[in-house]
Amino acid sequence: MVKGSILIMSNVRVRFAPSPTGFFHIGSARTALFNWLYARHTNGTFILRIEDTDKERNSDEFLQVIYNSLRWLGLDWDEGPQVGGDYGPYLQSQRNDIYQKYLKILADKGRTYEKDGAIWFKLEGERYTEYDEFAKKDIEKVRAKPQLIHDMIRGDVERAEDRDFVIYRANGEPVFHFVNVVDDIAMKITHVIRGEDHLSNTSKHCELFRAFGVEPPVFAHIPLILKQEGSGKMSKRDRGALIEEYQKDHYLPAAVRNYLCMLGWSPKDDREIMDIGEIIELFDFPGIQQKNARFDEKKMAFFNSEYVKALPLETLAWLARPILTEAGSITENTDEDYFQEVLMVAKPKISSLKDLPALLCYFFNENYATVEDAKNRVFKKGDPIARLTEALPALERLNDWTEDSIHAVYDAVASEKGQKNTDYFPVTRLAVSGLAGGPDLMPTLRVLGKEKVIARIRNFLEKNK
């Protein structure tokens, strides 16, 4: 919120509360992103809280994955682990004293009892017994007052709990519902933005909030992310589901973040590729859709390609150098001017950083391979060896090695032989690169230089006599 030139901080406090029990899922990333966007839109506070009470499944490795993935996406947190804040600790495993304090509050109000070694939360309402066909026994139920949940996305939703529920297990560990509510109260959370699959838990949470005498926060249950084929919620096992995959494939984090913004939110004007500052300005609950969002791997790749093409040359070079070095395409001794020139020529064709070695290796290495499929495509049409043989002498005679002069050579040879100049291009590209596609041919030939081009054409003709 900005008034004049003075930044006014709001009282909005949102949280992202992942469990370190597995790799970072794209659905978790989108939930974190929507919370972060709302905090930034309102000049509120974005809190990272780690729900690590499951001792058997937690791991430090997965905890680091959460931190690294959030930072990779540019989602900085205002309070939480490694940052601090006034409402810590921010790991639930370190908050047991707080949970015991709140458990005593409920016990003092007569809202807890022990059964089968566990501690149960006691609902208020008329109690009755009903035979449960599934359990094949009588079950005690409660006619509790329905909870009216005011959801910023779903509208008003009425839910009613009909039986007591466990808040502390027999092994002494607190249950998710209990610690979730206690932490939201203790950390003064004002808005709970989470997946639609948590809507079924919300009536339990509202019962607990009101038992503590606290008004529930504002709820906003965002749409689920469905698998690519649209059949069911996307899980960690589905292709494209893990943020780590995009990091390893050298996706640009800004592109991934932008795509995730569009999974369930829209600025209402058909735009999709947007600067994060503009998204922050526009992001609010009315733009979040109710229907579930379908993940589209090809669309994610398209977003990434658009971001790659928009990179300044200096940034592209900074990102490309370690990738090409690791692939063995370049070394620390590779001429920087030549390297930059290659990238300038190739930039319009670069859609993914992970493809750089395959796309550019022939610019730096004489041991490039000829792609068999590319060769088959070139040799299917006309007589490519004859065309290359016709062009070679004219290229050898050319002294002014510029794009225009090289193109003029092909024009002249084609005219003399009664061919089209494009009949000569595919086989020339195959000879100098081993590929059927890539950066524009004339700039490629210019950058490679006459000596290298002539030598490669001769070698290619020799091998394909």
At residue 5 the predicted structure's pLDDT band, cuts being 50, 70 and 90, is: very low
At residue 2 the predicted structure's pLDDT band, cuts being 50, 70 and 90, is: very low
Position 229 pLDDT exceeds 90: no
How confident is the model at residue 9, as a pLDDT?
64
Which tens digit of pLDDT belongs to each residue from 362-419? 999 998 899 999 999 999 988 999 999 999 999 999 999 999 999 999 999 999 999 9
Position 100 pLDDT exceeds 70: yes
> By the 8 A CB rule, do 26 and 234 touch?
yes
Burial (CB count <10 Å: 0-12, 13-18, 19+), residue 156: exposed
Of the residues 145, 188, 236, 309, which is catalytic? 236
Identity at 183, one-letter amino acid code: D
Closest CA to 184 of 110, 92, 262: 92
At residue 93 the predicted structure's pLDDT band, cuts being 50, 70 and 90, is: very high
How confident is the model at residue 3, as a pLDDT?
39
Token pair of 342 as six digits: 């290659």
The separation between the first and the last C-alpha atoms of the chain, rounded to the nearest angstrom, is 73
CA distance 223 to 215: 25
> By the 8 A CB rule, do 445 and 408 touch?
no
In the predicted model, what is the mean pLDDT of residues 81-88? 96
Residue 270, Ramachandran bin (φ over 0: left; ψ between -120 and 50: alpha; else beta): left
At residue 231 the predicted structure's pLDDT band, cuts being 50, 70 and 90, is: confident
* Bridge partner residues of 150 (DSSP): 156
Which tens digit of pLDDT belongs to each residue from 248-296? 999 999 999 999 999 999 998 889 999 999 999 999 999 999 999 999 9
Label each residue of 121-165 as H, E or C.
Answer: ECCCEEEEEEEECCCCEEEEEEEECCEEEEECCCEEEEECCCCCE
- Is 248 part of the annotated catalytic residue set? no
Share of the chain above pLDDT 90, in %: 87
Share of the chain above pLDDT 70, in %: 97
Position 431 pLDDT exceeds 70: yes
Query: Which are the contacts of 11, defined by CB distance < 8 A and separation ≥ 6?
Result: 44, 190
Position 95 pLDDT exceeds 50: yes
How confident is the model at residue 236, as a pLDDT?
66
Alpha-helical (H) ranges within 166-296 are 176-186, 202-211, 243-248, 253-261, 276-282
Which tens digit of pLDDT belongs to each residue from 402-414? 999 999 999 999 9
Position 4 pLDDT exceeds 60: no
CA distance 362 to 371: 12
> By the 8 A CB rule, do 435 and 362 touch?
yes
Query: Which are the contacts of 444, defined by CB distance < 8 A and separation ≥ 6?
Result: 345, 429, 432, 433, 438
At residue 196 the predicted structure's pLDDT band, cuts being 50, 70 and 90, is: very high
User: Whole-prediction pTM value?
Assistant: 0.91
**Angle separating helix axes 176-186 and 202-211, nearest 10 degrees:** 50
Position 1 pLDDT exceeds 70: no
With vertex at residue 242, the alpha carbon angle to CA 191 and CA 226, rounded to the nearest 5 degrees, is 65
At residue 441 the predicted structure's pLDDT band, cuts being 50, 70 and 90, is: very high
